[in-house]
């Protein structure tokens, strides 16, 4: 019986190349949408087209990786913020990051529509990561006594997403940032 070789960890330079490609691709998709030039992305990342295609064989694979990476950054930020900030300040800081995430997602929305249609499990997994992050932050703030016990974490997300999708608000991000402070203040326990 042949033994399957263990999968090797990618080399450090390959990981750096992948990370650079993802960062450049995020900017390119934000600027130009789903049709951003993959050759231009490779050039700006300082790699050849072959390196880009070795990591991401298709445009959809690159777009999916950019999306996943942004969601993972947002989800892990919750844990990092909880380690260094008070419970309500960690929640507030994470909600401000969520505003930035929504802004980036809105810009690349046309490119993401393919992902949503073709890979609904990716989108669902991302939603779960975001929900888990905010639920953990809210639970911590409730346990510390800084946030009321009847707060539903999803209500906070819904309020911010709602502001982001009102077409009459030209500078919705500023409005959403103010809303974060209002939400935090309104979530304090009544004394």
For 61-107, the pLDDT digits (tens) are 898 888 888 889 999 999 999 999 999 999 999 999 999 888 877 76
* Token reading at 63: 């777009």
User: pTM (2 decimals)?
Assistant: 0.79
The upper half-sphere exposure of residue 85, i.e. CA atoms within 13 Å in the direction of its Cβ, equals: 17
What are the residue ranges of helices labelled H in 46-188? 49-55, 59-84, 87-107, 109-118, 120-143, 153-164, 172-186
Calpha distance 24→44 (Å, rounded): 7
User: For residue 46, is pLDDT > 80?
Assistant: yes
Number of helical (H) and strand (E) elements in the chain, helices listed first? 9, 0
Cβ-contact 98, 16 below 8 angstroms: no
Cβ-contact 166, 172 below 8 angstroms: yes
Concatenating the DSSP letter of every residue in 128-165 gives: HHHHHHHHHHHHHHHHTTSS-TT--HHHHHHHHHHHHT
Domains and their CATH numbers in the chain: 12-57 (1.10.10.60), 59-187 (1.10.357.10)
* Token reading at 169: 């608000």
For 137-190, the pLDDT digits (tens) are 999 999 999 999 999 999 999 999 888 888 777 788 899 999 999 999 999 998
Q: With bands split at pLDDT 50, 70 and 90, how would you rate the model's confidence at 116? A: low
Nearest to residue 156, comparing CAs of 129, 137, 173? Answer: 137
């Amino acid at each position: 019986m042949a033994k399957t070789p263990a999968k090797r960890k990618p080399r450090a330079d390959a990981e750096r190349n992948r990370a650079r490609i993802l960062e450049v691709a995020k900017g390119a998709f934000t600027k130009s949408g789903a049709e951003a030039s993959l050759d231009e992305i490779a050039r700006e990342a300082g790699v050849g087209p072959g390196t880009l295609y070795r990591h991401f064989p298709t445009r959809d694979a690159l777009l999916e990786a950019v999306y996943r990476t942004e969601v993972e950054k947002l989800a892990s930020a919750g844990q990092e913020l909880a380690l260094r900030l008070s419970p309500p300040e960690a929640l507030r800081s994470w909600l401000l990051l969520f505003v930035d995430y929504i802004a980036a997602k809105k810009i690349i929305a046309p490119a993401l529509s393919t992902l949503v249609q073709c890979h609904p499990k990716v989108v669902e997994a991302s939603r779960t990561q975001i929900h888990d992050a905010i639920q953990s932050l809210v639970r911590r703030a409730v346990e510390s006594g800084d946030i009321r016990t009847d707060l539903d974490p999803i209500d906070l997300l819904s309020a911010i997403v709602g502001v982001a999708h009102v077409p009459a608000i030209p500078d919705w991000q500023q409005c959403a940032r103010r809303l974060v402070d209002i939400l935090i203040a309104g979530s304090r326990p009544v004394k």
